[in-house]
A and B are shown apart, each in its own frame.
Chain A
Amino acid sequence: MIQERYLNALVLFGLIAVPLYAMATEELFTITLATRAVILALAAVGLNLALGLGGLVSFGHATFFGIGGYTMGVLAYHAQTYTALDLGLFTIEGTKSMPIIWLVAIILSSLVAVVIGMLSLRTSGVYFIMITLAFGQMFFFFTISWAAYGGEDGLSIYVRNGFPGLNTLVPIQFYGICFVILCAVLFLNARLAKSPFGLALNAARQTPMRTQTVGLDPTRLKLVAFVISGAITGLAGALFADLNRFVSPTMFSWQFSGEIMLFIILGGVGRLFGPVIGAVIFVTLEHFLGEITDFWHIYLGVILVIIVLFARGGIVGLLSGRGGGHD
């Protein structure tokens, strides 16, 4: 057994060392791969707040990922075509500024999360899963028919958005931005989990009725967690779109919602670095097994079955003991 904090430190070291080694050996694709892993990890860290702490099995978190992605896509598209975005009552200019795009992505994701959360949290269990899935599918089919922004074919962005003082076209610099954001969100998550809000949310997940008897409203706690979770996943979507310089309806797909949930289950539900480890393993398998066979998901499925059956705390649980995680 290895203490969880040492395991977390090891993962952080890996996320620093591998891209630096890749930069030194000029294996730029490895840096891109690491960037992909970090962004997907960020999306899963967002979901882990709702799923791990709040027990909300959201099968529609791709909604927020897609909203983040399309925020970047639409704003950057209008910036690159020098056209204004007509919102009926007023028009706004496009932008290539990452901080502005992130801010808009976070705000829009949060607003949508408030609406989805308020409606979904009236239900629980399988109904909650289905209603969140339904919202994801609504956005998926909306973007398919949204011809102004590429419809089913998606939307290509020809430039990478800018960040003050950095050249975001340099892979290691863009990786650095994503890595710092991931670290900041992990720090926020760790603080949140130990704050009275996080503890109350944890309590609400365990025994909602008893939580009420000590004056806490479990629905409100879960809604706040869902909104924060959606905002983080939305931010990840904006970064993912910037990485690929392309957005498409697949960002809203239920398969993606399943994938980020899979990262969490692989790594460990409710464990701080569980989603990070899950995402890194997923991207690694996707790359290396994907080179060998197109059917690499079969092997992933086998690994998932083994993890679920024999390591219910995920990989973090397997290496560090059950600790603070849960099934």
Chain B
Amino acid sequence: MSLLSVENLTASYGVSQALFGVDLSIEEGQVVALMGRNGMGKSTTVKSICRMIASQGVLNFGGTDLHAQPSHRVARLGIGLVPEGRRCFRDLTVYENLIASARPGEWTEDTIGDLFPRLTERRQQRARSLSGGEQQMLAIGRALMTNPKLLILDEATEGLAPIIRQEIWAAIKRIKRDSGVAILLVDKSLKELSKVSDRAVILERGKTAWSGNITDLTKEISEKFVGV
């Protein structure tokens, strides 16, 4: 059985329907890239999985129907989200951001410090005083501190300097290599996604247009649906 199973997922913002039937599944320890042009429903799919917006269809995580769960319970079941725009707790220090949501498991302040040494250097600094890249590292660290079974990264490298993006991608590869956590990656960098992902799901107008192994993703398909 898949760790996460999404079938025929539909969602709306008021009267405006955003998802028309998204299908995707993630196995344990697998990295799946969720791709598509802007406005195709990637972030809405993520919000639906995390129960931040109402949706219909099958939404099953480890045998639990997510539709029956409030947002905080979804996280407690083992879905860690790194939201678009980072959204760290600005008035808390790096250390406080990490321990505020910590749950027992392999990810601790020390292992996060190994992954992002910059966070250890800025341990007592308030999140609001960090650079964008450091805030992104903190957002990833905060999500990992919940010791999730599935980590969702929504546009984790968006708007960051190239050198910081490299650091983030290196960290994602290390998370994949060193831990059994499954990852759902929403990003626009096909080059990096193809290096780290096992599978890809492409959304087009709120529906799954293509899914398969990342190695099967041809240039024609990516040009047609992703534009690169």
What residues of chain A have their CB less than 8 Å away from a CB belonging to chain B?
A: 194, 196, 199-200, 202-203, 206-207, 209-218, 324, 326
Contact = CB atoms under 8 A, between A and B. Distances in A.
A212 B71 contact: yes
Contact of A215 (B75, B90, B91, B92): B75
A235 B170 CA distance: 54
B92 A207 contact: no
A223 to B, nearest CB: 13
A206 B101 contact: no
B117 interface: no
B149 interface: no
A216 B90 CA distance: 17
B143 A209 contact: no
A231 B50 CA distance: 35
A202 B91 CA distance: 8
Interface stretch (B23-31, B76-84, B210-218): B76-84
B148 to A, nearest CB: 9
A200 B91 contact: no
Contacts of A202: 89, 91-92, 96, 100
A218 B75 CA distance: 13
A47 to B, nearest CB: 19
Interface of B: 50, 52, 70-73, 75-76, 80-81, 83, 87, 89-92, 96-97, 99-103, 142-143, 145-146
Given A196-B102, A199-B96, A203-B100, A213 B52 contact: yes
Given A203-B92, A214-B80, A324-B91, A209 B100 contact: no
Nearest to A325: B91
B75 A199 contact: no
Contact of A206 (B52, B90, B142): B90
A55 to B, nearest CB: 11
A246 B146 CA distance: 51
A99 B152 CA distance: 52
Contacts of A326: 91
B83 A210 contact: yes
A212 B70 contact: yes
A218 B90 CA distance: 16
A283 to B, nearest CB: 30
A213 B99 CA distance: 15
A324 B71 CA distance: 28
Contacts of A206: 89-92
B100 A215 contact: no
24 contacts: A194-B96, A196-B99, A196-B102, A199-B89, A199-B92, A199-B96, A199-B100, A202-B100, A207-B87, A207-B89, A211-B72, A211-B89, A211-B101, A212-B52, A213-B71, A213-B83, A214-B80, A214-B81, A214-B100, A215-B73, A215-B76, A215-B146, A216-B101, A324-B91
Nearest to A221: B72
Contacts of B50: 213
A214 B101 CA distance: 6
B91 A213 contact: no
Given A194-B96, A207-B87, A214-B81, 12 more contacts: A196-B102, A199-B99, A203-B100, A203-B101, A209-B71, A210-B83, A212-B52, A212-B72, A213-B75, A213-B143, A214-B100, A215-B146
Nearest to A201: B100
Closest 6 pairs between A and B when the two form their complex, measured CB to CB: A215-B75, A214-B101, A199-B100, A212-B71, A203-B89, A215-B76
Contacts of B89: 199, 202-203, 206-207, 210-211
A209 B72 contact: no
A176 to B, nearest CB: 35
Contact of A196 (B70, B71, B91, B100): B100
B143 A214 contact: yes
Contacts of A214: 75, 80-81, 100-101, 142-143, 145-146
A241 B180 CA distance: 60
Contacts of B81: 213-214
Contacts of A212: 52, 70-72, 75
A194 B146 CA distance: 19
A210 B145 CA distance: 14
Contacts of B99: 196, 199
A71 B28 CA distance: 57
A198 B103 CA distance: 16
A209 B103 contact: no
A289 B118 CA distance: 54
